């Protein structure tokens, strides 16, 4: 069951994961449209509905089949260690825990939206522990209680939450896998970042790991895992190496991406938050959430990815979950 202008990937009474559309702000000042405004409005609308509208019969068809159920037994793709290059680590999920999680939110146990219709809408809590840039799409996590927000924020601070992105970059990225390390800063009074020397007083260390999924005529389809979460990190680190994200004219992209828009601030770029791996703030169980690609990516005609070890899960760009 989706909200106005966004897709729900997972929800219970503690947290919510949605698929953010490109071109939409995560947060904004009052009076400006944003994902936070839309999610809050959707939650408030649920609170005004009778319980029968919120909790469908158990025998019914789930509102979001194959999107709200997660099979945690699979792991995130991990590249082979060629020439001792850094690789994208795979989160360790014990077999016993994985089995428990599959039973908790597996295909036979749909997770319906859990909202109290009698609750005063003024008491509605919506925490935003992280954000995505306006032109970026993909999975974003919200907290539905103060305690959940505190626990999720602590995971982000410890960098225990795994975030995988898909990016389409101009040019041929070589080697096919590796690590990028830089020092960045946000340019004062400007919505952009830049590479600076380590000695710069505003320098922040930035690290990401990548692997190429496919080489195509327009460039490279790349999977990226962030070790740090700096301002515009992927965009500036890729652009500084001559591989800007498709459509990202702010960082020197020459190839267009997505349908034309009247407001250039709403123009999407080919960067997508594909996967979130985090501990549930209440149960402590591991959740793996995948966000399907937006329609504007279909113009890229993505090929089959470069084969990796048989232990890697299948890589289907249009699939929402493992």
Residues 112 and 54: beta-carbon distance below 8 Å: yes
pLDDT at position 8: 93
Predicted TM-score of the model (pTM): 0.74
The contacts found for 302-307 with CB under 8 angstroms, 24 or more apart, are: 302/214, 302/216, 302/221, 303/214, 303/216, 303/221, 304/214, 305/213, 305/214, 305/221, 306/176, 306/212, 306/213, 306/214
pLDDT at position 118: 38
- Model pLDDT for residues 20-35, shown as the tens digit of each residue: 999 999 999 888 899 9
Structure tokens, 105: 């939110």
pLDDT at position 264: 83
| 88 or 214, which is more confident | 214
Q: Does residue 55 register a pLDDT over 80?
A: no
Whole-angstrom distance, CA of residue 103 vs CA of residue 168: 36
Positions marked active-site? 133
Q: Does residue 108 register a pLDDT over 90?
A: no
| 72 or 219, which is more confident | 219
Beta strand pairing call for 137-143 and 271-279: parallel
Domains defined along the chain, listed by start: 7-300 (3.30.2350.10)
Q: Which residues pair with 206 in a beta bridge?
A: 182
Q: What is the mean pLDDT of residues 89-117?
A: 35
Instruction: Mean pLDDT check: name the lowest of 137-151, 278-292, 301-315.
Output: 301-315
pLDDT at position 314: 41
Residue keyed to tokens 């992927």? 234
Whole-angstrom distance, CA of residue 9 vs CA of residue 7: 6
Task: Report the Cα 274 to chain-centroid distance in Å.
Answer: 5
């Amino acid at each position: 069951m989706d909200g106005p202008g966004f897709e729900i990937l997972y929800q219970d009474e503690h947290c919510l994961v949605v698929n953010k559309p490109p071109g939409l702000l995560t947060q904004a000042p009052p009076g400006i449209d944003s994902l936070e405004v839309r999610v809050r409005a959707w939650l408030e609308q649920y609170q005004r509905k009778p319980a029968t509208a919120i909790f469908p019969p158990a025998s019914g068809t789930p509102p979001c089949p194959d999107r709200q159920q997660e099979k945690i037994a699979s792991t995130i793709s991990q590249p082979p260690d060629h020439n001792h290059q850094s690789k994208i680590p795979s989160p360790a999920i014990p077999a016993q825990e994985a089995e428990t999680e599959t039973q908790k939110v597996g295909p036979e146990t749909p997770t319906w939206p859990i909202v109290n219709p009698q609750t005063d809408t003024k008491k509605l809590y919506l925490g935003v522990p992280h954000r995505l840039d306006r032109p970026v799409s993909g999975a974003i996590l919200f907290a539905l209680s103060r305690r959940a927000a505190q626990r999720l924020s602590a995971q982000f601070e410890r960098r225990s939450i795994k975030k995988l992105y898909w990016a389409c970059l101009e040019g041929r990225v070589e080697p096919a896998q590796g690590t990028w390390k830089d020092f960045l800063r946000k340019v004062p009074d400007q919505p952009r970042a830049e590479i600076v020397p380590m000695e710069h007083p505003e320098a922040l260390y930035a690290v990401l790991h990548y692997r190429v999924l496919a080489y195509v005529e327009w460039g490279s389809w790349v999977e990226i895992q962030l070790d740090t979460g700096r301002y515009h990190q992927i965009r500036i680190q890729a652009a500084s190496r001559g591989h800007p994200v498709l459509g990202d004219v702010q960082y020197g992209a020459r190839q267009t991406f997505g349908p034309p828009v009247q407001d250039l601030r709403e123009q999407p770029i080919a960067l997508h938050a594909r996967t979130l791996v985090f501990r549930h703030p209440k149960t402590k169980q591991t959740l793996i959430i995948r966000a399907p690609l937006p329609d504007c990516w279909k113009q890229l005609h993505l090929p089959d990815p470069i084969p990796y070890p048989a232990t890697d899960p299948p890589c289907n760009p249009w699939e929402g979950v493992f």
